[in-house]
């Protein structure tokens, strides 16, 4: 784990080297899971547990998220109150773009996500904001993700000052200890990756963006990556941040850069 420790030790750097970070994380996982190839990490926890993977493959023969894709297609094709359509409102039309988010908006100096842009589009054209973590938004995102399925995550290394700043913010959030248990994302998903917590293996994070939104069997519904962030915060005894906060979007961007190039398999399925 020497590579991981060196990577963690550089967390306070004023100008982090994203290429070095990504190489270090991938090398750490390669050493920890020598039987995996890089693309396997798109499966998340199912890449590192053979029994869970067998269950996952069986469930995906008749995926329980299929209903959400159909519902999302209908929502995408439904006109907004002023007659506008989402295809005319979203960057690049929204179709076949889910694998390219989050993107850096240089004017805002922030990472932007599809749910953020969908809600901004809805407001501009007279519709109410959707909850970004559940309900219609999850169905729409399942459909849009399905239109990118089979492509590869496209969140390249930060190439502008704005992107560098967002990357540094997300990287710091990944490393900062928080809550009553004083844990960081790094502690669970790098230092202790693959170990079991409450009978569940701690998953690698390279593929975190490749399979969200996910259908959660224990929820009986689709769920978002930011809801997973909030759940992690709460599990370590820290207050969760608002969904689609700049901090969560920066963390999502950081994870996207780490996983750039992995197969995009969303929508996904979690136990």
Taking only the tens place, the pLDDT of each residue in 126-154 is: 999 999 999 999 999 999 999 999 999 99
Number of domain units in the chain: 2
Same domain, 140 and 255: no
**Across 159-171, average pLDDT:** 98
If you average pLDDT over residues 253-264, what whole number do you get? 98
Look-up of token digits 């076949």:
96
Give the pLDDT confidence of 110-125 residue by residue, as tens digits. Answer: 999 999 999 999 999 9
Query: Is the pLDDT assigned to residue 83 strictly greater than 80?
Result: yes
Domain harbouring 200, CATH code: 1.10.760.10
- Residue-wise DSSP of 147-191: TTTTSB---PPP-SHHHHHHHHHHHHHHH--BTTTTB-HHIIIII
Query: Which one of 103, 118, 146 terminates a domain?
Result: 146
pLDDT in tens, 30-72: 999 999 999 999 999 899 988 888 888 888 888 999 999 999 9
Residue 237 is predicted with a pLDDT of 95
Q: Does the pLDDT of residue 101 top 80, yes or no?
A: yes
Domain identity same for 57 and 181: yes
34 and 111 housed in the same domain? no
Rounded to whole angstroms, how far apart are CA atoms 211 and 126?
31
Residue 96 in this model has a pLDDT that exceeds 60: yes
Indicate which residue of 89, 121, 188, 232 is catalytic. Answer: 232
For residue 147, CA distances in Å to 80, 90, 97 come to: 21, 14, 8
Instruction: Answer yes or no: is pLDDT of 1 > 50.
Output: no
Q: Note whether 82 and 46 are same-domain residues.
A: no
Which of the listed residues 97, 128, 146 is the one where a domain comes to its end? Answer: 146
Q: 270 or 239, which is more confident?
A: 239
Q: What is the per-residue pLDDT for 7? A: 54
Do both 36 and 123 map to the same domain?
no
What's the half-sphere exposure (Cβ side, CA atoms, 13 Å) at 234? 9
Q: Return the pLDDT at 43.
A: 92
pLDDT exceeds cutoff 70 at 202? yes
Q: What is the pLDDT of residue 151?
A: 98
CA atoms within 13 Å, Cβ hemisphere of 146: 19
In 3D space, the residue among 174, 170, 155, 269 whose CA is nearest the CA of residue 223 turns out to be 269
Domain that holds residue 99: 66-146
Q: For residues 7-13, give the mean pLDDT.
A: 50
Residues 33 and 91 in one domain: no
pLDDT exceeding 90 applies to what percent of the chain?
A: 80
> pLDDT at position 264, please?
98
pLDDT for the residue 14: 65
Q: Are 56 and 8 found together in one domain?
A: yes
Active site residue 121: no
Q: List strand residue ranges (DSSP E) for the chain, in order.
A: 103-105, 110-112, 196-197, 200-201, 214-216, 221-223, 268-270
């Amino acid at each position: 784990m020497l590579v991981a420790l060196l990577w963690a030790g550089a967390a306070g750097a004023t100008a982090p080297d994203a290429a070095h970070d990504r190489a270090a994380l991938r090398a750490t996982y390669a050493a920890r899971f020598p039987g995996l190839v890089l693309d396997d990490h798109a499966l998340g926890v199912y890449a590192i547990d053979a029994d869970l993977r067998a269950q996952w493959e069986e469930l995906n023969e008749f995926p329980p998220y299929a209903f959400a894709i159909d519902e999302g297609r209908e929502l995408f094709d439904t006109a907004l109150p002023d007659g506008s359509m989402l295809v005319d409102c979203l960057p690049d039309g929204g179709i076949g773009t889910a694998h390219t988010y989050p993107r850096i908006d240089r004017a805002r100096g922030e990472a932007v996500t599809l749910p953020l842009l969908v809600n901004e589009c809805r407001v501009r054209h007279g519709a109410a904001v959707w909850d970004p973590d559940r309900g219609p938004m999850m169905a729409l995102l399942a459909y849009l993700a399905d239109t990118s399925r089979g492509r590869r995550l496209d969140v390249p290394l930060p190439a502008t000052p704005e992107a560098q700043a967002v990357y540094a913010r997300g990287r710091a959030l990944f490393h900062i200890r928080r809550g009553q248990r004083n844990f960081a994302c790094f502690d669970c998903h790098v230092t202790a990756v693959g170990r079991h917590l409450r009978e569940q293996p701690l998953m690698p994070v390279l593929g975190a963006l490749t399979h969200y939104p996910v259908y959660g069997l224990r929820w009986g519904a689709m769920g978002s990556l930011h809801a997973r962030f909030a759940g992690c915060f709460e599990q370590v005894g820290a207050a969760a941040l608002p969904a689609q906060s700049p901090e969560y979007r920066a963390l999502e961007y950081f994870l996207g850069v780490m996983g750039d190039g992995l197969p995009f398999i969303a929508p996904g399925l979690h136990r």
